[in-house]
Each structure stands twice: as structure tokens, then as C-alpha cells.
Amino acid sequence: MRYDVVTIFPEYLEPLRLSLLGKAQESGLVQLNLHNLRDFAFDRHKTVDDTPYGGGAGMVMKAEPWGLALDSILNSALSNQPAVTADAEPHDARPLLIVPSPAGKVFNQAKAYELAEQEHHIVFAPARYEGIDERVLNWAEDHFRVMPVSLGDYVLYGGEVAVMAMIEAVTRLIPGAMGNPESLDEESHTGGLLEYPVYTKPSVWREREVPAVLLSGNHAAIARWRRDQQIERTFARRFDMIETYPEDGWDKKDRKL
Ligand SMILES: Oc1ccccc1-c1ccno1
């Protein structure tokens, strides 16, 4: 998987070079390219924003630096594209452009699975200020599959945090990116349920004991207890996961109640 991120704060994304995600890059499983938007602003002050037409508070990100940055990524992708054979099936070769935005569809685990399984090159355009000149997104439709995505119903200073969350959520689902892939099987949102509580030594901590079933060695009883805990937690904390399918139209992955 290749990720390209265009941002005015590339250093914001440096934590993605750490831990398992860093190892995924070292192994070649993942390629993470960070592009400083200011490198595509060629006036003396490397200006990337200006006042909004129509007035209003804040600044809007100028179109040209984004256009040049995205051109550069497209050209790089084309030069790395395998040759298309004459009998190749027609398919949409446009890379995916994810635009983090409070106005996007809400990201979820089902979408993370879909991106991990189906995409090989994802470009991220995290905005700052009041957003990106809309003409960039309109132009981009001819060259990318443009997908506005929200992390949730709240507002951030910019999209970089959303990009980090999405890159981590997708990468950990790519085969070979997790230390122990089995840990994906029972985590929250896999199978449409929240994860069960976990415990480790010591068996008594501040007068609190580990549930006896977990010390019983009875694997069937343990599995049943864990499933019951998942259902109980999901009903208590996320009844919406039980009650309705997501309004955002992205189907749950492998719902198993
Ligand atoms: O609040 C934002 C500002 C810029 C880009 C993205 C966001 C956002 C908020 C929630 N998900 O994404």
C-alpha cells in the first residue's frame, strides 16, 4: 500500500514512522510519502491561503498549490504504474483521494477493511483553515476517486489527526502488518460487537479478582463468557450497533450477532 499525504505540517505525521507502522514501512509492506504543500507555493512567502470570496471569518486554502502537489503525485504514480496489457480488464485506475472533513461520511471499521482489501494507493488531502478551494476537489474528480471522510461528529484544527487515524486503522488490517493477526479476530467492531474485557497477572490486584471462569481452563466456558461480555457491553454502550445499520451507508464488516 502506498500512502501520499499533502499537508502544511508534515512533521505532524512523523509518529506514523514509529512502532508496527514503522516496521510495515521498513518491510516495504507500506510506503508513506509526506509532501509539504508549501513546496508547491512559489511566491516569496510560499502562500497557501487567502481570504474567502463572499467574506466570512478565516482563510481558505488556495487552489494552485494543491493542484501542483496533486499533479506531482499523479505523475509519480504514473511513472510507477505497471504497463497496461491490451487484454487488461477495463478498471478505474484513478488513485483514491481521501479528503478528511467534518462534512464527510463517517469513517468506520467496515470502511477500514474495504480500503485495506481494495486499495493500493491512497492520497490524503488534510485541510487547514476553513478548508480547500472547492474547485480543487472538482478538478480532482477527473483524476482521482474523491472521498470526503469524517472521523466523527466533532471539529478539529485540521485533517492531519484524521489522516493518522485512518492510515493506522487501514494499515493494521493489511496482511503482515500486525504482530499477531489473530488479535484482529475479537477486537471491537469485528463481527459487529465491542471487545470483551481482558485481564493479566496478578490474579488479585487491589482486592479485585480476575473472573474465576478465566482461571478455570474450561475453554468452552471462557469462550461463552467472553461472547456474553461482548454482547452485554455492546447493548450497554453502543446500542446503535445492535439497533440499526450505519446511516453512513458503509456496511458493517462480517456482522455476527
Ligand atoms: O475538523 C476537521 C477539520 C479539517 C479536516 C478534517 C476535520 C475532521 C473533523 C472530523 N473528522 O475530520
Measured in Å, residue 101 CA sits from the centre of ligand 1 at 4
Give residue 8's identity as a one-letter amino acid code. Answer: I
The whole-number pLDDT of residue 176 equals: 82
**Domain residue spans in the chain?**
2-181, 191-249
For 191-249, CATH number out of 2.40.30.10, 1.10.8.420, 1.20.120.450, 1.10.1270.20 equals 1.10.1270.20
First and final C-alpha spacing in the chain: 32
> Nearest residue CA, atom 5 of ligand 1?
159
Report pLDDT for 255. 42
Ligand 1 centre from 154 Cα, in Å?
7
Distance 135 CA to ligand 1 centre (A): 19
What is the chain's pLDDT, residue by residue, as a tens digit (257 residues)?
999 999 999 999 999 999 888 899 999 999 999 999 999 999 999 999 999 999 999 999 999 999 999 999 999 998 877 676 778 777 788 999 999 999 999 999 999 999 999 999 999 999 999 999 999 999 999 999 999 999 999 999 999 999 999 999 999 999 888 767 677 766 778 788 999 999 999 999 999 999 999 999 999 999 999 999 999 999 999 999 987 554 555 654 444 44
The pTM of this model reads: 0.89
The class (CATH top level) of 2-181 is alpha beta
Strands 60-61 and 49-50: antiparallel
Cα 59 to ligand 1 centroid, rounded to whole Å: 16
Counting from 1 in the atom list of ligand 1, the atom nearest the Cα of 100 is 6
Residue 180: is it exposed, middle or buried by C-beta count within 10 angstroms (0-12/13-18/19+)?
A: exposed
One-character DSSP codes across 145-157: EEEEEESSSS--S
Residue 165: which H helix or E strand, with range?
Answer: helix 160-171
Query: Atom of ligand 1 at shortest distance to CA of 155?
Result: 1
Pairing of strands 145-150, 96-106: parallel
Report the nearest atom of ligand 1 relative to the CA of 101. 6
Q: In 3D, which of 69, 34, 72, 9 has the Cα closest to residue 167?
A: 34
Q: Ligand 1, closest atom to CA 158?
A: 4
Three cell numbers written together for 201: 497477572
